[in-house]
Each structure stands twice: as C-alpha cells, then as structure tokens.
Amino acid sequence: MLAGMLAAFTAPVLAQSKECNDENKAAWYDTFLKNYKGEPPQQKIAYDAAKLYLTSCPEDPNDKIADFMKNKFVIPYEKLTTSNSVKKQFEDAYTNKKYADQLRLGKEIISTEPDNSSVYIIMGLAGTGDPSLLAESSQFAKKAIELIETGKPFAPYDSKDKALAAMNYTVAEANLKTNPADAIPFFLKAAKYDSDLKKSYQLYYDLATAYEKGPGAVLTEKYRPFVGKDETDESKLVKANLNQIVDRQIDALARAAALATDANTKKAIMDDLTALYKYRNNSDAGLNELVAGILNKPLPEIPTPLTSLPTPAPGSTPAGTPGNNGGAPAGTPTGNPSSSTKPAGTGSAKPAPSPTPSPTPNRKPNFRRG
C-alpha cells in the first residue's frame, strides 16, 4: 500500500570533473537542456550534465547558465532524491517491522512534509509493535488522529474507521501505563469505530484496568478513612461514585469474557469478573446472562461524578441493605480474583498485594496478548 506513497527515485551518481572550456561548457549545457525539457524528461542525465558544468568550472557570479542550473534544477533535484531515498528506507523499515527505524526515518520525512498523515500513522503504530517506544509513538498517533479527522489520507489502512481506531488505541495504551484515567476516553473511542479492535477482548480488559487503576483507585483511597466506621452521607456519596466505576469495570470485563475465544483466557477474565460482580451484587445470580447479552448493549460512557446522594424511589431498597453491596462492612468483598489463573502463555501470575481493606477487590495484574 505504501509503494505509491513512498515511491523512490534513483539517487544521482556524480560525474567526474573535466576541463572547463567553451566547447565542453556548450556540450554540457546542450545535454542538460535536451534532457531537462525532453519528452519525456531525463532528469538523471540532465543532472549529471549540470553537475559536470558546475563542478568543472569555478564559480562565476556573471554566469547566468550556471546560476540557472544550480538554483532552478540541481538544488531542488538533490532535495527530492534525498527525500525519496529516506522514504524508501522508511518503507523498508515498515515492511520489516523495524519500529525504531520507523520513528527515526519518519521524523526526517515529517520535517519537510508536516501533513503526511500516512507517515504519522505508521509512527503511531510503532509503539504497539515495540512497547518501549509507546510513549513517543503515541504523540505521533495523536497528530495522525488530527490529520485524519480533517480529511487527510488514512493509508496504510483501507478505511478511516480502522485508522482512527488504531491510533486511539495506541494513545490509550500509552496512557494506561502512566495515567489510566486519561486512557479511558481513548479506549472508548477505539471501541466505537468499525474495526477489528471493536471485537478484541484485550481492548475491553484494558478498559476495565483503566477504570480500576484510574478513578477506581482514587475513589478507593478516598473511601479508605471510612472503613470500619458507621456510614455517613459523605461516605455513602464516595461509595456511590465508586460503584459507578465498578459497574463500568463489570461491563468491560463482561465484554472481554464474551469476546475471548481461548479457554484459559476466558476463564481468567471470568474469575476477575465473578469476584467483582459478587462484590457489587452480593451474588453471582444473573452473571452468565449478563455476559451472554452484553454485546447487544451500547458501550457506556464515563459516568458523571455524583455530587449528592440520589433520592431513593418510593418502595426501593434503601442504600446499605443486603442485595446492593451496602449491608456488608466496607472492605469485605466476596472472592479474591488475585488468585485466579493467568492465561496460558502469558507468564506466571503474581497475586496483587493485599492493602488495607478497601471497598473493591483487587484484580490480578493485566495480562497482555501472546
């Protein structure tokens, strides 16, 4: 797909200098003119003739022919051939999955072609091929998103949706390592475009991790001073906000479980999901039905933080009674997903550390694709 985009030109071979006399100068200029404007133009031959003229004869500010050949042809031609040589190397780096070279060469290209969206896309993908490049790569992915959304080409992808999904996913993965809360909107965007990522269990598992380690971790710490004490309106409000995040985790894990095809992977996700679902509902009743139908439901947005406790509907079960995760003392969830088996091929799972009792169970470390 990149062949047309990154077409290469043959690099010029410099001719050997010869005696600078009127006869040679006339012959070189004649060769230059015939090939410079020939049908079709033979730019390589024209370049060699011009270089013979310029390198064989000393600079003369009064030589209009030399000035024309140098500034109107030779300098632009050398810039062009150098640029296309870099593009050919960039294409080779892409084909051979040399991710560091993709970034290095891509930077050279965009220094002169700042709107080359296809180069930005490939640089954005480099971090998904080599995680050590992810932080830098994600910056180019952001620029690619900006360019694609303004109508620039989306090669090497065959659709705009696929390109935008991949770029948003790259940014999300980079943020997941450093600022999980910032990863959430990018995961949500990646999941909504029409691409294979929409059907990837890993995306939704990562989304659940972002909720857990981002707003979930913040609210867990915020709730920690209330553990073991009588509930107050303040503690209930923190827990209500935390429960909104837990609900998003459950939704994301249910999607991951529904999409996972490997038996070991599916079991590991279900172990995580079951523990969290039991914590939230004091039972696993309805869990299988949730997983079975989850892909028919729209992916929920980030919840709006609650600033006041919701008013219970008439006849509803008050908060703090069994059946809605309010009756059990905070920090005593059912189950321990940290002990679940990690999917085969992903290395040995290490149980998450057991902190001071918290209002949500700890999931095991995130597993990656094989």
Mean pLDDT, range 265-273, rounded to an integer: 97
Mean pLDDT, range 298-322, rounded to an integer: 74
pLDDT of residue 336: 31
Mean pLDDT, range 212-222, rounded to an integer: 97
**pTM for the full predicted model:** 0.69
Q: Is the pLDDT of residue 318 over 50?
A: no
CA distance 172 to 18: 60
Cβ-proximal residues to 150 (8 Å cutoff; 6+ apart), any chain: none
Q: Any idea which of 86-95, 99-108, 199-208 has the lowest mean pLDDT?
A: 86-95
pLDDT of residue 72: 83
Mean pLDDT, range 28-39, rounded to an integer: 82
Q: Is the pLDDT of residue 202 over 80?
A: yes
Mean pLDDT of the chain: 82
Q: Is the pLDDT of residue 91 over 50?
A: yes
Mean pLDDT, range 264-284, rounded to an integer: 96
Report the 10 Å Cβ neighbour count for 90. 26
DSSP for 94-112, written as a single string: HHTT-HHHHHHHHHHHHHH
Q: Is the pLDDT of residue 364 over 70?
A: no
How many residues in total does the chain contain? Answer: 370
CA distance 205 to 369: 11
pLDDT of residue 192: 96
